[in-house]
Structure 1
């Protein structure tokens, strides 16, 4: 990264940090762009150049969030079923207490819960996450599955699956994903620590994945071992 790009990233982070602090202190709806600009010591135009929407100042990891499930499918290991890759990715994020899956801390979680605007934006981002996953699943089942050596899997995706199958799978997977996200937020607001939330979510996530596996079957999940 060059010096110019590094400076831009630094300014963006500064604006985001100032905005988050003000949103938590004052509430999202009550905080203005002018106040954020003043706190960051930049012009209002600079704020809007970096963040097209006020909501993006609070939910500034939205691109990582919307593309996360799709990326897990697209970058899965050779021969790995999509649902297996998604389960592995979620387990990793859970153990790392990743904000993208809901570990935001109580102050931030309360700020989002108290804002109708942010709640609506979060629903929109979940919808975009589902659309991206549907596209990734469509691509996944359109390509014959291979094993680790690159050999075609004789039990690969069936061509008789209806065209709506990837979208239906994405809808079910994302419904579970939303539920887990809400659970983390609920437990955060209830005063649980991140470690306590992790311990609670591991068996719950495993249960949901088993339900999804039974509902979806091949080619979205591997057969039980």
Structure 2
């Protein structure tokens, strides 16, 4: 089996396990489903499930955790002459236009099901906190390449908090039943206002 085909099969299996798990968690509750039951429903072995996901928490949050290093990556790969904040603003606005679930602005039924599941499952909160903290740490490390470490940490905290407010606002509107296309103009306005505040507050800290 070629590398491309092998990787595609792995991605298909990973997607099958994730979708199967979400269906079971939504139907019966996160705490009432065992990994063995997910394996049985997906017609694979329990070992196969653990080869892809180390826990039920990882199963639910795996898609979001793929974005943990995203802010740091955006800063690291920004265009010549572009400030870190300008790059983060551009990226967030582009993601809004694409209705990227990472911005909260996605009314795809599966995305909404996952949001509702997370809201109804307190045991997922610790892993969410760890992922958020890790994302902020990675961003701070990247910002420290253009300013001092303490300033980088303070700036990363402000940026992370601002992004979280924007994402939460968008997600709450989606859960309230508002269409993403309808909310998009307001989400863009709020994002522009939020990044303007960051630019004003961090004026002079970052250079292109």
TM-score over 0.5 (shorter chain): yes
Superposition deviation, residue 215 in structure 1: 0.7
Q: Does 1:115 align with 2:121?
A: yes
The one of 11, 35, 38 aligned to 1:36: 38
Question: What is the Cα-based RMSD across aligned positions, in Å?
Answer: 1.7
Question: Mind listing any 5+ residue stretches in structure 2 that lack a counterpart?
Answer: none
Equivalent residue runs for 1:7-156 within 5 Å: 7-102=9-104, 103=106, 105-139=111-145, 141=146
Superposition deviation, residue 53 in structure 1: 2.2
Superposition deviation, residue 71 in structure 1: 0.7
Superposition deviation, residue 46 in structure 1: 1.0
Q: 1:48 to 1:183 in 2, by over 3 A?
A: same
Greater Cα shift, 212-221 or 126-135: 212-221
Paired residues of 1:126 and 1:178 also in contact (CA < 8 A) = no
CA displacement, residues 52-95 of structure 1 (integer Å, 9 cap, x when unaligned): 12112111224431111011101100010000000000001111
CA displacement, residues 158-204 of structure 1 (integer Å, 9 cap, x when unaligned): xxxx5300011000000001111211221112111111232221111
> Take 1:47 and 1:173, find their aligned partners in 2: how far apart are those partners?
36
> Take 2:206 and 2:33, find their aligned partners in 1: how far apart are those partners?
44
Pair member with larger Rg: 1
> Take 1:107 and 1:11, find their aligned partners in 2: how far apart are those partners?
20
TM-score norm. by structure 1 comes to 0.83
The residue number in structure 2 matching 1:196 is 182
Q: 1:28 to 1:184 in 2, by over 3 A?
A: farther
- More helix, by proportion: 2
> Take 1:165 and 1:69, find their aligned partners in 2: how far apart are those partners?
17
The one of 164, 172, 182 aligned to 1:178: 164
- Provide the aligned length of Structure 1 versus Structure 2: 202
Partner SS for 1:13: helix
> Take 1:22 and 1:80, find their aligned partners in 2: how far apart are those partners?
45
CA displacement, residues 19-68 of structure 1 (integer Å, 9 cap, x when unaligned): 12222222222222122111111111111110012112111224431111
